[in-house]
Amino acid sequence: MTSTSPISTSPLTEPAGGARRYDEFLPLEEDDVFLADAVSEAELPALLAALALVNADPGLLVDEVTPPIPPMDSTIAPQGGLSAEAQQHARRLAVGALARFRDRGSVPVGEPGPELLATIMRFLTKGAGEEYLPLLRHELGLPHDYGAPTWRKDAIAPTVPFTVAIIGAGISGMAAAYRLQQAGVEHIVFEKNAEVGGTWWENIYPGCRLDTPNFAYSYSFAQKPDWPQQFSRQQQIEDYLCDVATGFGLRPRIRFGTEVTEARYDDHDQMWTLTTRTGDGTSSRHRVNAVVTAVGQLNLPNIPDIPGRDSFGGRWFHSSRWDPTVDLTGLRVAVVGTGASAYQIAPSIADHVAHLSVFQRNAPWMLPTPGYHRDIPPGMQWLLRHVPYYGRWYRFWQFWLAAEGRLPFVEADPEWTRDDSTSANNAELRRQLLEHLRAQVGDRPDLLEKMTPRYPPGAKRMTRDNGVWAATLKMPHVDLVTDGIDAVTPEGIRTSDGTLHEVDLIVYATGFRASDYLEPIVVTGREGQDLHEFWNGDARAHLGVTVTGFPNLFMLMGPNTGVVVNGSSLFMAECAAEYTVECIGELLRSRKKVMEPSRQAMDEFCAEVDRGNERRAWGVATVSTWYRNRYGRASQVWPFSLQEYYRRTREPDLAALRLSGELEGAR
pLDDT for 132 equals: 93
pLDDT top residue among 245 and 624? 245
State how beta strands 657-662 and 592-597 pair.
Answer: antiparallel
What's the one-letter identity of residue 437? L
Statement to judge: residues 341 and 391 lie in one domain: no
Statement to judge: residues 79 and 168 lie in one domain: no
Q: Residue 59 gets which letter from DSSP? A: G
Q: Where are the beta strands (DSSP E) in 247-346?
A: 254-255, 258-266, 271-278, 283-288, 290-293, 315-318, 332-336
Residue pair 337/509 in contact (Cβ under 8 Å)? The answer is yes
**Domain assignment present for 138:** yes
CATH number where 485 lies: 3.50.50.60
Cα angle at 402 between 398 and 408, to 5 degrees?
155
Nearest to 540 by CA among 606, 599, 600: 606
**Domain assignment present for 153:** no
**pLDDT confidence of 19, banded at 50, 70, 90?**
low
Q: Is the pLDDT of residue 14 over 70?
A: no
State how beta strands 485-488 and 492-495 pair.
Answer: antiparallel
Q: Which residues, at least 6 apart from 78, have a Cβ–Cβ distance to it below 8 Å?
A: none
pLDDT averaged over every residue in the chain: 94
Residue 292, strand partner residues = 166, 554
Statement to judge: residues 319 and 452 lie in one domain: yes
Q: What is the pTM of this model?
A: 0.95
Q: At what angle do helices 133-140 and 390-404 cross, to 10 degrees?
A: 140
Statement to judge: residues 462 and 577 lie in one domain: no
Helix ranges restricted to H, 389-507: 390-404, 424-441, 445-451, 468-473
Q: Residue 72 gets which letter from DSSP? A: P
**Domain assignment present for 32:** yes
Cα angle at 461 between 46 and 649, to 5 degrees?
60
What's the one-letter identity of residue 631? Y
pLDDT for 12 equals: 40
Q: Which residues, at least 6 apart from 545, have a Cβ–Cβ distance to it below 8 Å?
A: 554, 555, 556, 558, 576, 579, 580, 649
**pLDDT confidence of 652, banded at 50, 70, 90?**
very high
What digits encode the pLDDT tens for the residues 135-159? 999 999 999 999 999 999 999 999 9
What digits encode the pLDDT tens for the residues 383-415? 999 999 999 999 999 999 988 889 999 999 999
Q: How far is CA 591 from each of CA 151, 163, 594, 655, rounded to the nearest angstrom? A: 15, 14, 9, 18
**Domain assignment present for 203:** no
Statement to judge: residues 130 and 268 lie in one domain: no
Q: How far is CA 111 from each of CA 9, 39, 129, rounded to the nearest angstrom? A: 10, 25, 24
pLDDT for 299 equals: 73
**Domain assignment present for 410:** no
Q: Which of 448, 483, 508 is the last residue of a domain?
A: 508
How much is the average pLDDT of 657-665? 91
pLDDT top residue among 4 and 318? 318
272 phi/psi in degrees, rounded to 5: -105, 140
DSSP, collapsed to helix, strand or coil, labels residue 20 as helix
What digits encode the pLDDT tens for the residues 481-494? 999 999 999 999 99
Among 52-56, 403-407, 539-543, the range scoring the smallest mean pLDDT is 403-407
Q: Residue 297 gets which letter from DSSP? A: S
How much is the average pLDDT of 88-93? 98
Q: How far apart are CA 176 and CA 171, in angstroms?
A: 9
**Domain assignment present for 623:** yes
Statement to judge: residues 261 and 320 lie in one domain: no
Residue pair 464/372 in contact (Cβ under 8 Å)? The answer is yes
Burial (CB < 10 A; 0-12, 13-18, 19+), residue 620, is: middle
DSSP, collapsed to helix, strand or coil, labels residue 268 as coil
Q: Which residues, at least 6 apart from 36, have a Cβ–Cβ distance to it below 8 Å?
A: 91, 95
DSSP string, 350-408: TTTSSEEEEE-SSPPPEEE-TTTTPBPPHHHHHHHHHSTTHHHHHHHHHHHHHHHTTGG
Statement to judge: residues 658 and 626 lie in one domain: yes
Statement to judge: residues 92 and 137 lie in one domain: yes
DSSP, collapsed to helix, strand or coil, labels residue 160 as coil
Task: Give the total number of structural domains in the chain.
Answer: 3
Q: At what angle do helices 390-404 and 114-125 cross, to 10 degrees?
A: 50
**pLDDT confidence of 11, banded at 50, 70, 90?**
very low
Residue 613, strand partner residues = none
Q: How far is CA 513 from each of CA 304, 446, 600, 637, rounded to the nearest angstrom? A: 10, 32, 28, 14
Statement to judge: residues 500 and 604 lie in one domain: no
Q: Which of 508, 533, 552 is the last residue of a domain?
A: 508
pLDDT for 602 equals: 98
What range does the domain containing 272 cover? 159-196+250-300+514-662
**Domain assignment present for 204:** no
**Domain assignment present for 208:** no
Q: Is the pLDDT of residue 18 over 70?
A: no
Statement to judge: residues 267 and 354 lie in one domain: no
How much is the average pLDDT of 74-90? 96
Statement to judge: residues 343 and 471 lie in one domain: yes
3-state helix, strand, coil in the chain (%, to 5): 35, 15, 45
What digits encode the pLDDT tens for the residues 200-239? 999 999 999 999 888 999 999 999 999 999 999 999 999 9
Q: How far apart are CA 489 and CA 504, in angstroms?
A: 11
Q: Which of 465, 485, 508 is the last residue of a domain?
A: 508
Statement to judge: residues 333 and 477 lie in one domain: yes
